[in-house]
Structure 1
Amino acid sequence: MKKIFRALATRFQSLPPADKYVTWVVLVLAAFGVVAVYSSITFFAEMRSGGNTELFLVRHLTRVVLALSAMFVVSMIDYRILARYSRIGLLGALGLLFTVKVMGAFAEGPARWLTLGGFGFQPSDIARVALVLYVGVLLTQKQEYIKSFSRSFLPVLVWVGITVVLVGLEDLSTSAVMVMAVIVMCFIARVSTMQIGVLAMLGLLLGVGLILAEPHRAARVESFIGTNMFASTDAEYVLDRQGEGYQADQARIAFAMGGLTGVGPGKSVQRDFLPTPYNDFIFAIIAEEYGLLGALALLGAFCLLLFRGFLRIARDAPDPLGAFLATGFTTLIALYGFIHAGVSCGLLPVTGLPMPFVSYGGTSMIANGIMAGILLNISRQTNASKENT
């Protein structure tokens, strides 16, 4: 084991430097998340393990270490090598998604998780990484005829459509973010504006169809708007503030209690009322304990990540593939953070998206580490190309 760590250290020291701002943003978010999760996990631990908060803290720390280790290792692997296996990776992710659907068909309800060797994971987290990788490869390969619908846009549309549908059947919010990331990548790749509009329209129609097909999704939209629109939902439950609107109301109360500077670390009251304060509403707990200033500081970290990903790593990438991948992965990470914050403060309907590197999570945390690692590797390759010129 020591030899492995020594070899990794030697390899790391021989590589060009990576973007230090992205590295520090990820480390700060992860550290902030450990403190926030430990604070918000109390009630959950009381229900699950008799108040043993340390057990869940250790689990979260383990996942954070795994995510940071994945980021560290992937940052040393040339992203072009990863891109060579992107199609295989996406096919594997689609196979896992299909397996989840088959298992869900024989269960009492739909399933999102697979268990392998005692380890549970969500294939949708694998799919979002694999899709961006392969779309980046396709857009790079088709640059000579990027405006062609049949030769360029249609292959991208087919792969995106299959992946988004399989993910969206159980996780509409994740599929929506994936579509938005692909749209940004297509814009950077000079895809026709009309074709991008077609992709956006198809994504919107799919979203509407999936909302109409599932009453619980329709109920969330109605609760957010404040009116009953769909015949498939229970109007009384949707409009009841103790019903569908309960989570959003409790999150807004957390913001109100936090004020400008917050009630202080570990002193949250709303963690006992929000159903999943350690995951889906971690930003509300942070706003309560650290106030508006703490919430804005956290959003500032995502803004810095967005700035570095777009205007430094993607812009200065050594080749189009690097630019497309940096754009796609930056969009995925930043949108997850901004949408989570928007849900927590009542600007968006409840979605269930975790805040990257902050929320309590497993495969989503590791997937974010891999994406951040690819961003860092692109910046390494940029610095390497500068050193060789």
Structure 2
Amino acid sequence: MLKFITTLRDRFYTLPPADKYVTWIVLVLSAIGVVAVYSAITFFAEVKSGGNTELFLLRHVMRVGLALAVMFGMSLVDYRVLARYSRVALVGALGLLLIVKLTGLVTEGPARWLELGGVGFQPSDLARVALLLYVGVLLTQKQEYIKSFGRSFLPILVWVGATVLLVGLEDLSTSAVMVMGVIAMCFVARVSAAQIGLLTMLGLVMGISLIIAEPHRAARVESFLGTDMFDTTEAEHVLDPRGEGYQAEQARIAFAMGGITGVGPGKSTQRDFLPTPYNDFIFAIIAEEYGLVGALALLAAFGLLLFRGFLRIARDAPDPLGAFLATGFTTLIVLYGFIHAGVSCGLLPVTGLPLPFVSYGGTSMLANGVMVGILLNISRQTYANAA
């Protein structure tokens, strides 16, 4: 056993280094998340477990630890090996999404969860990782005829369309971010502007159709715009301050309470009014407790992650596949962060996207760990090739 540990240690020290900035950003975000969740979880813990906040904090810390372990493990696995199984992973994710549609668990909203052995998980989190992996493979394989509609773009469109539709039926915001990630990858892969425009248009049409088809989505859009647009919604509920606009209003109050420097750690009052302050609106709680300074610092961390992902890891990747994957995964993670912040301060309609590595969560945290782990492995491969 001692020999095995020694061998493992020696092998670790001989590995090429990963991007230290990305690593530190994730560690800092995770630490901020632990503190913020502990503050925001109080009311939820009182309802669910008689005020035992330590129980929920322990669960969150365990999930963060698992996500970081997954991130470290993925950083050691050659991303080209993972790419070989991307099609299998995507087909499996599509199958699970179909099962969710038929038998999913309902947790305060649409049926998005499956439960195996008492553990619930969201197949959409597997789908977003698998889709970008497989799109990266397709873009790499089709570089010689990347401008061809039939040989290159159409196969990509079929896989993207099927995945986005199945995810979008229950989780429109996640599917929208997935489309944006694919568009970023297509741009880097030299897909023609007309084809990228077609993908964008089809995504918009699908999104609008899904909004119209679901009254609760239409109501959120109407509440954000402050007008009655759809026949399927009730204007009284949409425009009622305690109706669809309640969450956004409470989040804006949190920002106003925080001011420049905040009310102080653990002193949030809006955590008792926001429905899910530990997840969907964790950024609002951070802004209340640490003020504009804390909110901007958090956004700066995602900005630095964007810079490292695009202008270091993707740009210097050892092959096109690495560049495409780094672009897609960086786009996905950073967009989650910026959209979550935009929702919290009222710039975007309420979506329910968690803040990566900060919000209380399970499968979303693991999916983010996988994506960052792949980013770190690409950076390792870059260093190894340069050495």
Structure 2 equivalent of residue 259 of structure 1: 259
Structure 1 equivalent of residue 327 of structure 2: 327
| Secondary structure in 1 matching 2:371 | helix
1:117 is displaced (CA, Å) by 1.4
Structure 1 equivalent of residue 289 of structure 2: 289
Cα separation, 2, equivalents of 1:295 and 1:41: 19
Structure 2 equivalent of residue 167 of structure 1: 167
1:14 is displaced (CA, Å) by 1.7
Unpaired runs of at least 5, structure 2:
none
Amino acid at match of 2:14: S
| Secondary structure in 1 matching 2:115 | strand
Checking the alignment, whether the CA contact within 8 Å between 1:64 and 1:357 is kept in structure 2 is yes
Runs of 4+ residues over 6 Å off in structure 1: 1-4, 105-109
Judged with a 3 Å threshold, the aligned counterparts in structure 2 of structure 1 residues 108 and 50 are, in CA distance, closer, same or farther, namely closer
The aligned runs of 1:23-62 (5 Å cut-off) are: 23-62=23-62
Cα separation, 2, equivalents of 1:107 and 1:306: 32
1:12 is displaced (CA, Å) by 2.2
Structure 1 equivalent of residue 17 of structure 2: 17
1:10 is displaced (CA, Å) by 3.3
Q: Is residue 183 of structure 2 the alignment partner of residue 183 of structure 1?
A: yes
| Secondary structure in 2 matching 1:170 | coil
Count of aligned pairs between the two proteins: 387
The aligned runs of 1:177-256 (5 Å cut-off) are: 177-256=177-256
Q: Is residue 141 of structure 2 the alignment partner of residue 141 of structure 1?
A: yes
Cα separation, 2, equivalents of 1:262 and 1:295: 10
Cα separation, 1, equivalents of 2:2 and 2:326: 33
1:271 is displaced (CA, Å) by 0.3
Q: Is residue 358 of structure 2 the alignment partner of residue 344 of structure 1?
A: no
Checking the alignment, whether the CA contact within 8 Å between 2:43 and 2:271 is kept in structure 1 is yes
1:105 is displaced (CA, Å) by 11
Structure 2 equivalent of residue 129 of structure 1: 129
Cα separation, 1, equivalents of 2:9 and 2:99: 39
Checking the alignment, whether the CA contact within 8 Å between 1:258 and 1:291 is kept in structure 2 is yes
* Segment drifting more, 373-382 vs 103-112: 103-112
1:244 is displaced (CA, Å) by 0.6
Cα separation, 2, equivalents of 1:107 and 1:233: 22
Judged with a 3 Å threshold, the aligned counterparts in structure 2 of structure 1 residues 303 and 4 are, in CA distance, closer, same or farther, namely farther
Judged with a 3 Å threshold, the aligned counterparts in structure 2 of structure 1 residues 107 and 295 are, in CA distance, closer, same or farther, namely closer
The percentage of counterpart residues that share the same residue type is 80
Judged with a 3 Å threshold, the aligned counterparts in structure 2 of structure 1 residues 68 and 108 are, in CA distance, closer, same or farther, namely closer
Checking the alignment, whether the CA contact within 8 Å between 1:12 and 1:76 is kept in structure 2 is no
1:118 is displaced (CA, Å) by 1.4
Judged with a 3 Å threshold, the aligned counterparts in structure 2 of structure 1 residues 130 and 7 are, in CA distance, closer, same or farther, namely farther
Unpaired runs of at least 5, structure 1:
none
For residues 147-197 of structure 1, the C-alpha deviation after alignment (integer angstroms, 9 at most, x for no partner) is 000000000000000000000000000000000000000000000000000
- Normalising by structure 2, report the TM-score: 0.98
Amino acid at match of 1:154: L
Amino acid at match of 1:98: L
Judged with a 3 Å threshold, the aligned counterparts in structure 2 of structure 1 residues 245 and 109 are, in CA distance, closer, same or farther, namely closer
